[in-house]
Structure 1
Amino acid sequence: MPQTRRSAQPGATLGGMRITCHQGDITVEEVDAVVNAANSTLMGGGGVDGAIHRAAGPELLEECRRWRAARWHDGLPVGEAVATGAGQLPARWVIHTVGPDRHRGQTDPALLASCFTRSLEVAESVGARSVAFPAISAGVYGWDADEVARVAVAATRASTVEVDEVRFVLFGPEVLAAFEQALQE
């Protein structure tokens, strides 16, 4: 799939953090950390979660199992984030976060914002300087792409973490347009 790279302004930065968006495949991004729109089990699934697990290989699943056994026995809570190695991905880490599911009544934008802020905090804690995000909750979890984009961009801009670059890597043109609009606001 051809990738379209865009930002609010070429080379736009906010407090030293460059924020861009483009259409592409998050599993091939050459960044320090990719964020996985995981389900609470951390065991893989569909969409971005399944694609990341398939591309990373079995070592990712094994590390997720260790996290479940050690700390998240009942699953990773919505809005929380945890880092694992990235297996066979070009990234160094995968940061797993569970987005809110509108179909289950999880409609609070603060829960969605927490996915982005906690992921950035975890990225900083492992030393990641560049992070790629998908449109968390904008797929099967039923959130409108425009709302996800506004929340994601606002949460990223409000973050005080020391990360050099945030890339929103989006699957389709409609979601890309939503993020482009949010970056221009």
Structure 2
Amino acid sequence: MRFGDKQVLGSLDLRLAPRETIAITGPSGVGKTTFMRIIAGLEHRYDGHVRRPDKLAMVFQEPTLMRWRTVADNLAITLGLTPAEIDIALEEVGLAGRGTAFPDQLSLGQQRRLSLARAFAGKPDVLLMDEPFVSLDADLSDEMMSLFERLRDNHPVATLLVTHAIPEAERLATRILELSGQPAQLKPRQA
């Protein structure tokens, strides 16, 4: 991947097994989000090939919600869920009874819960998470990681998690890889 004359990402080969959670760590600006966007199919200006399943879900750093639609609509429109499925998805993330609220009526933590509900309700084969717990206080971050662990245990999904937080990577991942160098390369993280 290049930005102008600058090569940002080198040749990367990553295989993600079913139910595996891989954490990608590395310094700011090294290309972690760009790498995630390539995998998600949101970035097309790269040389190479990405083989991915058809059913992907992505949780971004900031919740990407339709603010002019209700919480329930954010699930129904994007995923085609029935009212009963919406109720189940919201209950699973601790948002039962909030279907008629609008995203701006939710706290940041609740918006992140809605993002997780949307991701898991789509029953993806691969879940991509780009700094999903950034800018949360320690207690809320711990609560959100516990929620993610419960959801992951209840849904058969492989997860690729981008994070700067090594304790978060150590807690959530079965394997930790570091993206570093110029152009950036993946390598196992050294303890």
Q: Give TM-score, length-normalised by structure 2.
A: 0.41
- In proportion to residue count, which structure has more strand? 1
Greater RCO (Cα-Cα under 8 Å, separation 6 or more): 2
- Greater Cα radius of gyration, structure 1 or 2: 2
